[in-house]
């Protein structure tokens, strides 16, 4: 029977070392926020690493307090009796560096100045995030991962894990991912950036934490939300309904979809730092599995473990054909790869909205890896 993991606490690991980034710069000391669910078995063979998306965090399951209205972002996947069964597996989720949710990022104190990094924080790549996660696992004494599983930016991390730590990773499950960020996705992030840059409160990243460039960040988040949805999901959820609060011929009256974007943009400002949003967007834009390899084929030649890939029919941010490019190359190289394109109307967010459509396939895969 499915249950919640209950009350959980986000832990923080402080690592007094410097991480050499892909840019050549050094970042350190490091703080990494993480949560764990379940119990590590005697031989350390039951570890699953869950990797989060763009604005996610380490809180993947359970509740921080009894008063919490919402559980962790993947609570429908992680817990006793669920597909990532905490009676069987030891599940870890860490917050990526560059974020503002407990790990070292632009809001952290720069040891060289004693002030927040802000835009003095170095540009990151997804590969840097994975190397920081490796430091966390080394500290926890974990030398083997049964699986690395994640959606969107989490899918990128899963692939990087398999390519760069092939002796440690026994399987990966990239969900709604891509092998390289497309010009269209970069263009959408460019619009989001301009929305922030044009907000006079941004002040080139030197805004007071208590007075962020809220209008710019809310608009940037709205651009993101549009890319996470689909035409079909907007018709299903909003249709052409006009807000009951407004008159149709009120010049500032809004459709329900407009109110949705406005509301979600406004609430996002309350929980996420603007500079962190920008740094993570840059990491997404820079993502390319072929970075520092001769080609995508060369990069994927280092991926040896079984992999299970999911794409969604209505995802136009990272559409199925982008996943299929990677899968086809893995098949050409005779790697153990499995791929499913899941019918869904919920766009890129399908992996969060309709996990029941791929959970049985994931369950079967994990059982076979066992």
Q: Is 59 a catalytic residue?
A: no
Query: What is the spatial distance between Cα 140 and Cα 143, in angstroms, rounded to a whole number?
Result: 9
Catalytic member of 103, 230, 348, 350? 348
Output the CA–CA distances (angstroms, integers) from residue 6 to 36, 72, 91, 249, in the order listed.
Answer: 12, 10, 14, 49
193 carries a ligand binding annotation: no
Q: Which residues are registered as beta bridge partners of 34?
A: 11, 94
Q: If DSSP states are collapsed to H, E and C, what string results for 195-216?
A: HHHCCCCCHHHCCCCCCCCHHH
For 205, list phi and psi in degrees, rounded to 5: 85, -5
182 flagged as catalytic: no
Per annotation, catalytic residue among 285, 315, 345, 350: 315
Alpha carbon distance 2, 195 (integer Å):
43
349 has binding-site annotation: yes
Cα–Cα distance for residue pair 49/114, rounded to 1 Å: 33
Q: What share of the chain is helix, strand, coil (3-state, %, to 5)?
A: 35, 15, 45
Active site residue 348: yes
Dist. CA 126–CA 276, nearest whole Å:
14
Q: Which residues are annotated as a binding site for substrate?
A: 221, 349
Write out the catalytic residue numbers: 152, 315, 348
Q: Which residues are annotated as a binding site?
A: 221, 349
């Amino acid at each position: 029977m499915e249950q919640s993991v209950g009350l959980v606490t986000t832990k923080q690991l402080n690592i007094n070392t410097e991480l050499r980034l892909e840019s050549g710069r050094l970042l350190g000391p490091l703080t990494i926020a993480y949560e764990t669910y379940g119990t590590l078995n005697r031989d350390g063979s039951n570890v699953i690493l869950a990797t989060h998306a763009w604005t996610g965090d380490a809180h993947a399951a359970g509740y921080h307090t009894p008063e919490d209205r919402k559980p962790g972002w993947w609570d429908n996947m992680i817990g006793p009796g669920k597909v990532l069964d905490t009676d069987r597996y030891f599940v870890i989720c860490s917050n990526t560096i560059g974020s503002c949710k407990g790990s070292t990022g632009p809001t952290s104190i720069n040891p060289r100045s004693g002030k927040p990094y802000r835009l003095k924080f170095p540009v990151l790549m997804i590969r840097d995030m994975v190397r920081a996660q490796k430091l966390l696992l080394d500290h926890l004494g974990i030398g083997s991962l049964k699986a690395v599983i994640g959606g969107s930016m989490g899918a990128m991390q899963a692939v990087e894990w398999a390519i760069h730590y092939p002796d440690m990773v026994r399987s990966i499950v990239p969900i709604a991912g891509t092998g390289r960020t497309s010009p269209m996705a970069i263009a959408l992030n460019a619009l989001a950036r301009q929305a922030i840059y044009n907000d006079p409160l941004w002040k080139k990243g030197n805004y007071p934490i208590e007075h962020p460039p809220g209008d710019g960040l809310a608009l940037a988040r709205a651009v993101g939300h549009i890319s996470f949805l689909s035409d079909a999901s907007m018709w299903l959820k909003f249709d052409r309904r006009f807000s009951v609060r407004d008159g149709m011929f009120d010049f500032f009256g809004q459709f329900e979809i407009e109110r949705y974007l406005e509301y979600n943009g406004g609430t996002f400002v309350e929980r996420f730092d603007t500079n962190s949003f920008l740094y993570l967007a840059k990491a997404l834009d820079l993502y390319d599995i072929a970075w520092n390899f001769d080609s995508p084929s060369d990069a994927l030649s280092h991926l040896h473990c079984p992999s299970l890939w999911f794409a969604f029919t209505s995802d136009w941010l990272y559409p199925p054909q982008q996943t299929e490019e990677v899968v086809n190359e893995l098949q050409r190289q005779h790697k153990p790869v499995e791929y499913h394109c899941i019918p869904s109307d919920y766009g890129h967010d399908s992996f969060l909205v309709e996990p029941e459509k791929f959970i049985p396939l994931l369950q079967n895969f994990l059982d076979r890896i066992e």
